[in-house]
Structure 1
Amino acid sequence: MSAHPNRGFTLIEMIIVVTMIAILASIAIPSYKNYVMRANRTIAKTALVELQARQEGYYVDRKRYATQLTTLAYPADPAWVSATGEPDTALQTDSIYRIDLSDVTATDYTLTATPVGAQSDDSRCGTLSIIASGRKAASGSDGVDCWR
């Protein structure tokens, strides 16, 4: 027996561990990104539905729709929504969607959430929109399924 037993890892053991970590990372990172994009979509959908409710309340009182988001007590027109769900007056580093109100008439409007920043990579759903009648749409490859 040697007075100093071998300690440490062999090169083969290190290569196996590094390979296993690489395989796990190649599975986990895309799954995490999809999860974050889906969570961010939920924030945008919530903002659009909330604004739709505000528009309907405005319509009940005035028999016409508001022409600007600021009339609906939103901070700006257009507004940006962060990953925390808070609306903001300008594009920030944590902004995930730009919220616009367009095509407003006395009886119709379109609310749109356009992805910005890291959320711009969302090709599955892309831009989300909702109109006065309640019809919901998405510009991405999954289309209306994005609202389910």
Structure 2
Amino acid sequence: MPTPPNRGFTLIELMIAVAILAIIVSIALPSYRNYILKANRTAAKTALVELQARQDGYYVDRRRYAATLTALGYPANPTWISATGEPETEEMDRSIYRLELSEVTVKGYRLEAIPVGAQADDARCGTLSVIASGRKQASGSDGVDCWR
């Protein structure tokens, strides 16, 4: 009785499959990383807009701006946020931005979201900030488009 021929992959076929997989991963991974950075930016922008609304409410009630984030109901000054937007009292592995309130005067304030952890690689937008007048800025290389 004849033995059936071996059915399997040759080394060349296996190397071609590995090369194709490597090309696909090298294209997909940077796109995925950019998507994550952009999603995290959205969490920071949301937190800054919420803080701005809290500052405005504080001003309406007291005729002055809050000097600390704790006065606005946040757990610490500064406060860290995760990708879900949850405030934290200290920097954790999941923290993506540090929120700070500075330059508080009778006429204004400055809110900043400073990237930390893996988000610190975001050279495109860098630190996001809002001032009392509503002007929004970003310190990165593409700061003009970061708030759009």
TM-score range normalised by the length of the shorter chain = over 0.9
SS in structure 1 at match of 2:90:
coil
Contact 1:136 1:144 in 2 (8 A): no
Question: Deviation above 3 Å: which 4+ runs of structure 1?
Answer: none
Question: Counterparts of 1:11-90 in structure 2 under 5 Å?
Answer: 11-90=11-90
Aligned residues: 148
Percent of aligned pairs with the same amino acid: 70
- AA of the residue aligned to 1:26: S
| CA–CA separation in structure 2 for the residues paired with 1:2 and 1:110 | 83
Q: Over aligned residue pairs, what C-alpha RMSD do you find?
A: 1.0
- AA of the residue aligned to 1:89: T
- CA drift of 1:2 comes to 4.7
More helix by share: 1
Query: What TM-score, normalized by structure 2, do the two folds share?
Result: 0.98
Contact 1:69 1:76 in 2 (8 A): yes
- AA of the residue aligned to 1:5: P
Contact 1:81 1:97 in 2 (8 A): yes
- AA of the residue aligned to 1:140: G
Gaps of 5+ in 1: none
| CA–CA separation in structure 2 for the residues paired with 1:7 and 1:18 | 19
- CA drift of 1:3 comes to 1.7
- AA of the residue aligned to 2:107: T
Question: Counterparts of 1:94-105 in structure 2 under 5 Å?
Answer: 94-105=94-105
SS in structure 2 at match of 1:114:
strand
- AA of the residue aligned to 1:72: L
* Alignment correspondent of 1:136: 136
Gaps of 5+ in 2: none
SS in structure 1 at match of 2:113:
strand
Residues 88-144 of structure 1, C-alpha deviations (whole Å, 9 max, x = no match): 000001000000000000110000000000000000000000000000000000112
- AA of the residue aligned to 1:70: T
Residues 42-85 of structure 1, C-alpha deviations (whole Å, 9 max, x = no match): 00000000000000000111111000000000110000001111
SS in structure 2 at match of 1:146:
coil
Query: What TM-score, normalized by structure 1, do the two folds share?
Result: 0.98
Contact 1:79 1:89 in 2 (8 A): yes
